[in-house]
Structure 1
Amino acid sequence: MITRYLFEEKQRIDARKSRVRRAPLAPSAMIARGLIVRALRRAGLHHVLHNLPCTIGIVGVDAGAVTSITYGARDILGAWVVGSLGHDVSIYDRTGSRRRNLDKDIRSLIVEAAKGGDRSAVLLGAMDDVSPAFAASAEGIVVLEPVDRALVKAAFMVTAKRAPGPEGLDLVTSLPLDLIDSVIAPRRSVERSLGIAKRLLAAVRSEDHPVEDAAEVPEELADGPRLEDLSGLGEVGEWGNDLVRDLDDYRSGTIPWSDVDRGALVAGVPGVGKTMFAGALARSCGIPPTSTPARAGRRAGISAISSSR
């Protein structure tokens, strides 16, 4: 009776699988996919590329690259959307602050990995985060190498149908993976892509070395990217665009100052781009970007954004 029920349930789930062609990968996900494929081949895990049931660990994932690596891993493992249940491939993020209680959180995954009936991947920051129990039960542990010219060039050719020279490729390669989607875009010239890459790199470097005095904002921060140069911002990007429109309406006399949003608190782990977003928003609003001393806030991964006259 139980066996028949499980069989019928499986049939219902299989019938609900979406067979609609998957959307093309974003440039950063293409690069992530290439990194994972290389790592799997080096480890001799070629069968993973054929969508066979397996559980693998992917090491060397920065907190800011989780989304790109997740999409790349799903594509390799052959993910489909199953009705309202989401993807039939499981990707577990255990990078950054998610490393806590790793053994406890991953216990059920180890059991499934031992059974060999699931397709899943666990994203980890370093080999030190791999527990002995998971290493023993997983199909394999692979380590990602840094992004190189070949992968960036391939992403350019697929997306924009043209690619920059070696120096331009090296420039884009030096960016964090999650920012590459803001550089490579369809129908965008190579020259404009490299211009955006330079501004993003300047913003990243200024975030890595924050100033302690608002009067000492480096020149490259003032000349960094604008809000419209960034992509994939989600809800915080929508809020930023609303603020830009509010300030434009206030300057034209359409709305009073009291109707302008007074600010927001953006939180996240260090390195995800909070300061870069604040600077880009300030430039789009026509306000000189400033850095306010907030050592405790920086340690906690918090950026404050306010609008003042």
Structure 2
Amino acid sequence: MARRGKTAARQAVKVCAAALAAFGAASWPARADWRDDIGTFRIGIVAERGGGNTIPGLARLTDAYANALGMKVEFVVARDYAALIEAQASGRVQYAAYSALAYATASERCGCVEPLVAPVDADGAVGIRSVLVTRDGRLPDLAAMASHRIAIAPAENVGGALLPLAALSAEGVKIAQDSPFLARAASATAAETMLAGGEVDALFGWEPADAEGRPARSKGTVARLAAAGIPGASLRVLWTSGLLRYGPHAVRSDLDPEAKRRLTVFLTNLRSQTPEVYDLLEGAHSGGFAPAVRKDYAMALAIVRRETAGKE
């Protein structure tokens, strides 16, 4: 009898404790959800040239992001990347789709952004790297550049000018934009024509590469030269830069981790699950999105820092 009495008493204590816990939980103020803190999740995107403030498939995109996050979403169309960077740095947008150099500029501007994902090509390429290409051994090696003529694309060309000069500078090879051995071409195509016609001994071009640095030479400068009739066996790549990753979709670093997780899952599965929405969001690279991190944009930061230093 005494044992049964003790058992009943213990059960009564447990019931009372559970009731008190339930009462206490019900009386505590509800914990604020990150969605409540944000209110409306704003996504910044640069307007297409000549497109005004319109975004093709805006309603479909808005619904897709809203479903992924479980909250209200609004797209904000910026006139250019400078405006988009300012909007994210100031907190007016939580998420932005950038070029590689725009992301690096935003990172330098406030240190408050981080990449989530970046697009991939159908062949697996995740970015480009610069190459120094010679024909028929006219340029023996990198050290001999100063005594030869090297074609280089216009100053604002990323793969054929900005990337090689920044990458070589990071390797300790200092080359100025106006170095006398550089032959400034009117375009990347013109630089290729100069090499084909024997006006220069080499040129700075570009090639796509995958995350491991393996080249996808079905595209890029060497492929273009071969298509123009130059025998592939006569072409030699003397030097390659580090990888410049394709531009990312980036969020503010102070965004709740759950929001980052939801967005990453949504974006990396988008091409396989809803390809028509992926095509609305990413028209240049058809291989889907892959996760990206800050270190993937080391070359982009090197370009931005070199250009900034040159203007000071």
When normalised by structure 2's length, the TM-score is: 0.26
Higher helix share: 1
- TM-score, length-scaled by structure 1: 0.26
Q: Which has the larger radius of gyration?
A: 2
Q: Judging by fraction of residues, say which structure has more strand.
A: 2
Q: Report 1 or 2 for greater relative contact order, CA contacts < 8 Å, sequence distance ≥ 6.
A: 2
